[in-house]
Amino acid sequence: MRNVRNWWITSDVEGRKSRIDFGPKSKDGGFAVHVYQRVNGSPKKVATMNGFVNNDTLILEFTPWQCEGATVQYDMPHFMFRNISQTRIKSER
């Protein structure tokens, strides 16, 4: 049987020929992904995604960061798909 990790992250990035895939190795392992976005000409950290284990419970957190020049928009779930919602972070390039 294949060793299944707590999380497995895949990312498709424009300009790359292959995906970037990763995940923690240990059963208690976690991860942190930081997302940077150009805000008024400068790169700023706009979001963090953390996965961690707490008392055998897997927890996934997405945290948008407030920074000057960027707005965080929390969308209400779609009326047909109530279990799907989005968070958008907008800024001028």
Residue 1 has pLDDT above 60, yes or no: no
The pLDDT assigned to 27 comes to 82
Cβ–Cβ < 8 Å for 63, 50: yes
CA distances from 67 to 31, 39, 80, 86 (A): 23, 9, 32, 19
For residues 53-70, give the mean pLDDT.
87
pTM, 2 dp: 0.73
For residues 61-75, give the mean pLDDT.
83
Residue 65 has pLDDT above 70, yes or no: yes
The string of pLDDT tens digits covering residues 8-32 is 889 999 999 999 988 898 888 999 9
Hey, where are the domains in the chain? Answer: 9-66
Average pLDDT, the chain: 82
